[in-house]
Amino acid sequence: MYPIKFKPILKERLWGGTKLKTLFNKPIESDITGESWEVSGVPGDISVVANGQYEGKSLQELIDLYPNELLGKHVHKRFGHDFPILIKFIDAREDLSIQVHPNDKLAKERHNSFGKTEMWYVLHADAGAELIVGFNKTVTKEEYQQHLNSGTLTDILNYEKVKDGDTFFINTGKVHAIGKGIIIAEIQQTSDITYRVYDFNRRDKNGNLRELHTELALDAIDYEKKDDFKVAYTKDSNTVNKVVNCPYFITNLLPLTASYEKQLSQDDSFHIYMCVKGEGIIGDGTTELPIKQGETVLFPASCHQLEVKTKGMDLLEVYI
């Protein structure tokens, strides 16, 4: 197998904009495009190969044909033929709804799905842009409901000002929202289970309020104030900088200013490379692909080498 690019799966969102096109050249046709799903195994939204001999085949077809070669033996053993990670770029022209994701146990019971642990890497933030992450004090379920019902939920939420390069780890149960003027790379478990708890009383294009999931969210929320979300990491050039290491994915930052090589076989996993800055050439010693900011390449587990040619490029590396 060879390094694979997929066709982006573009999602209209009430809060989306046009920066996925103006900055990343995504083929969007709508002025409210909020998400580009770069690598997806979500049923109904399976990624399709855009390059090479597998062009036109779906990610699921490749997993079914070559499970160990694509996923890696230990990943295949753990997840079967399910691709375990969903990779996105997100353009928030407006604030997203305030939401929470269930853990694996709750998601399995209610939806026969994985939970949704995720991380955000900020590619761009307008001056003064903010995220909502968790509570600004520990509250009870009853206090939370009182604030929700009285329209004062934002009084107990924690706001974080952000800048380019900031990284946040959003574990399940943490109330959160991406604020307007932020573009992020999002890495998450394969799941589309989101409980929307507050949406600023916005209406969709048909004038309807969007569905809320306030009752489902009650048992999913962690009501304790925790400062466990902002990720501190090094940014040393031309080497691997560890960013997140959790049971669902490992993410590293590779800030490259020159040619770079890395052995991959020891991980026994696919590797995903998201270009979050600059541009260059990426390959496995046999196949080379151009990559620039806003693009993503999947290296199947059978690709044992990463080779990069660049004068300046930051890559996020993701694997299991």
111 marked ligand binding residue: no
Alpha-helical runs (H) found in the chain: 19-22, 59-65, 67-71, 73-79, 104-111, 141-150, 214-218
State how far the Cα of 296 lies from the Cα of 274, in Å rounded to an integer. Answer: 4
Tell me if residue 154 falls in helix, strand or coil.
helix
- Label residues 178-200 b or e (16+ Cβ within 10 Å = b): bbebbbbbbbbbbbbbebbbbbe
Residues near 214 by beta carbon (within 8 Å), at least 6 away in sequence:
148, 195, 197
- Here the tokens at position 141 are 């379920």
Amino acid at 311: K
Q: Which helix (H) or strand (E) holds 255?
A: strand 249-256
State how far the Cα of 15 lies from the Cα of 91, in Å rounded to an integer. Answer: 8
Q: In sequence order, what E strands does 76-166 have?
A: 85-92, 98-100, 118-125, 130-135, 157-161
Selected catalytic residue, list 13, 93, 196, 210 = 196
101 marked ligand binding residue: yes
Q: How many CA atoms lie within 13 A of 196 on its CB side?
A: 14
State how far the Cα of 149 lies from the Cα of 143, in Å rounded to an integer. Answer: 10
Whether 110 is catalytic is no
Amino acid at 200: F
Instruction: Enumerate the known binding-site residues for Zn(2+).
Output: 101, 118, 176
Active-site residue set: 196
Instruction: Enumerate the known binding-site residues.
Output: 101, 118, 176
